[in-house]
């Protein structure tokens, strides 16, 4: 398996485009994205757990209930959430897209992101659809990735090439996510595409399994969004024997999927609103995987730890504090904690107690852009990883006037 260029268009039979249609006042920013499969594809998605859900999620769930989709339409700048006519707008958005593409409205995955509670006027989308479709191309992946971002500082995309039964396949994706990022699923918008042939039920199984170890382990600010989901389309154009059950090919597909989603997780966490540092918390030595996940999540979600990392302060007591209130059944007298970055690694806690360490060396380590928080529970063989970012002054600035 190797990383390649192309994002959502790396796989055979996918084209994309992104344009500014007028939803956003800022004409420099693209606000409408489209991804199209040459043929109908197997489809699956996972949705936010927030009880307040955007209308596009409800419509997408309805549309891919048969396990099929052929296109993704997504706007930024307006979330189409908490609107009386939201469902009608989301369905009409599918209809506008389908009519121009010559496909069924039920084969469209629809998504929206942006301000909550603001009515979505479809006029810009309707008027921009012709140019959006005419501009579809294999080279359009980057434009599509740019069109789905909100407060992100850059477009996020990745792709890999791998083999299934000796046949080369590709899997790529694009994501948006900077604020309102918190477990559990979903915590962002992620669109994945592959030319691998896989039955829709196995595709759904793969996606649901993967997000437990990837997107459900990302937190920027503790707020679970209302509109976000992860979707995947698999059009089978690579020509591999269809994956219709467990086995070697399914495992290979899972590895490729995990490679893409983990890369996107790191991008999302590192690009958190106002963030200056990517934090990765690695928990080892847990009695079981669930314990490791609970501990990793608690640490990466701690505002005190995030603030300490912003200030390059090796305040390891906050790590133990977060473990202690996590709800995980751990022996706190066995916990070891270290901090690591490209500048080195330093042990700050052994067996639940502090050890002498150089504050100067610790500061040097924590001033780096990427920091690992290493925790060993010394109770078993299970492990888990979570991703987050530091908490900075700019986070408050960004969210203090996000709507106005």
The pLDDT of residue 186 is 42
Same domain flag for 36 and 152: yes
The pLDDT of residue 228 is 79
Same domain flag for 81 and 195: yes
Tell me which of 270, 298, 316 is where a domain ends. 270
CATH number at residue 282: 3.10.20.340
In order of 8, 97, 173, 255, the CA distances from 233 in angstroms are: 10, 17, 10, 17
Note if 150 is an active site residue.
no
CB of 89 closer than 8 Å to CB of 120 = yes
Q: Which range of residues forms the domain containing residue 339?
A: 278-400
Same domain flag for 223 and 336: no
The pLDDT of residue 404 is 59
Number of independent structural domains in the chain = 2
The pLDDT of residue 49 is 73
The pLDDT of residue 12 is 98
The pLDDT of residue 26 is 87
The pLDDT of residue 229 is 86
Same domain flag for 250 and 366: no
Same domain flag for 167 and 260: yes
Same domain flag for 29 and 164: yes
Residue from 48, 60, 187, 194 carrying the catalytic annotation: 187
SS3 assignment for the chain: CEEECCHHHCCCCEEEEEECCCCCCCCCCCCEEEEEEEEEEEEEEEECCCCCCCHHHHHHHHHHHHCEEEEEEEEEEECCCCCCCHHHHHHHHHHHHHHHHCCCHHHEEEEEEEECCCCCCCHHHHHHHHHHHHCCEHHHHHHHHHHCCCCCCCCEEEEEEEEECCEEEEEEEEEECCCCCCCCCCCCEEEEEECCCECHHHHHHHHHHHHHHCHHHECCCCCCCCCCEEEEEECCCCCCCCECCCCHHHHHHHHHHHHHHHHHHHHHHHCCCCCCCEEEEEEEEECCHHHHHHHHHHHHHCHHHHHHHHCCCCCCHHHHHHHHCCCCCCCHHHCEEEEEECCEEEEEEECCEECCCCHHHHHHHHCCCEEEEEEECCCCCEEEEEEEECCCHHHHHHHHCCCC
Tell me which of 270, 291, 324 is where a domain ends. 270
Pairing of β 353-354 and β 382-389:
unpaired
Spans in the chain with pLDDT lower than 50: 179-180, 185-187
Task: Give the C-alpha separation, 146 to 100, whole Å.
Answer: 22
CATH number at residue 111: 3.60.70.12
Same domain flag for 265 and 297: no
Exposure pattern of 212-233 as b/e (b: 16+ CB <10 Å)?
bbbbbbbbbbeebbbbbbbbbb
């Amino acid at each position: 398996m190797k990383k390649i260029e192309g994002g959502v268009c790396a796989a055979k039979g996918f084209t994309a485009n992104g344009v500014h249609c007028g939803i956003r006042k800022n004409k420099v920013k693209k606000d409408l994205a489209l991804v199209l499969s040459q043929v109908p594809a197997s489809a699956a998605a996972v949705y936010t757990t927030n009880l307040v859900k955007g209308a596009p999620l409800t419509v997408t769930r309805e549309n891919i209930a048969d396990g099929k989709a052929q296109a993704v339409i997504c706007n930024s700048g307006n979330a189409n959430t908490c609107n009386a006519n939201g469902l009608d707008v989301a369905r009409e958005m599918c209809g506008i897209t389908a009519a121009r593409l010559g496909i069924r409205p039920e084969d469209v995955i629809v998504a929206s992101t942006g301000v909550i509670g603001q009515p979505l006027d479809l006029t810009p989308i309707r008027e921009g659809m012709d140019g959006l479709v005419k501009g579809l191309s294999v080279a359009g992946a980057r434009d599509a990735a740019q069109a789905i971002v909100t407060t992100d500082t850059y477009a996020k995309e990745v792709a890999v090439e791998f083999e299934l039964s000796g046949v080369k396949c590709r899997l790529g994706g694009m994501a948006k996510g900077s604020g309102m990022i918190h477990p559990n699923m979903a915590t962002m918008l992620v669109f994945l595409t592959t030319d691998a042939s896989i039955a829709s039920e196995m595709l759904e199984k793969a996606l649901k399994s993967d997000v437990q170890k990837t997107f459900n382990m990302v937190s920027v600010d503790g707020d679970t969004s209302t509109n976000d989901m992860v979707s995947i389309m698999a059009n089978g154009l690579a020509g591999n024997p269809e994956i219709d059950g467990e086995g070697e090919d399914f495992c290979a597909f899972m590895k490729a999927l995990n490679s893409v989603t983990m890369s996107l997780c790191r991008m999302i966490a590192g690009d958190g609103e106002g963030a200056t540092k990517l934090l990765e918390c690695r928990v080892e030595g847990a009695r079981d995987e669930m314990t490791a996940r609970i501990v990793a999540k608690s640490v990466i979600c701690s505002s005190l730890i995030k603030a300490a990392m912003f200030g390059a302060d090796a305040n390891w007591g906050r790590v133990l504090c977060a473990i202690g209130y996590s709800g995980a059944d751990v022996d706190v007298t066995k916990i070891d904690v270290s901090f690591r970055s490209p500048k080195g690694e330093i042990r700050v806690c052994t067996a639940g107690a502090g050890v002498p360490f150089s504050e100067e060396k610790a500061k040097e380590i924590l001033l780096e852009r990427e920091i690992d928080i290493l925790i060993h529970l010394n109770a078993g063989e299970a492990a888990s990883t979570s991703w987050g970012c530091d908490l900075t002054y700019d986070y408050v600035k960004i969210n203090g006037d996000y709507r106005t």
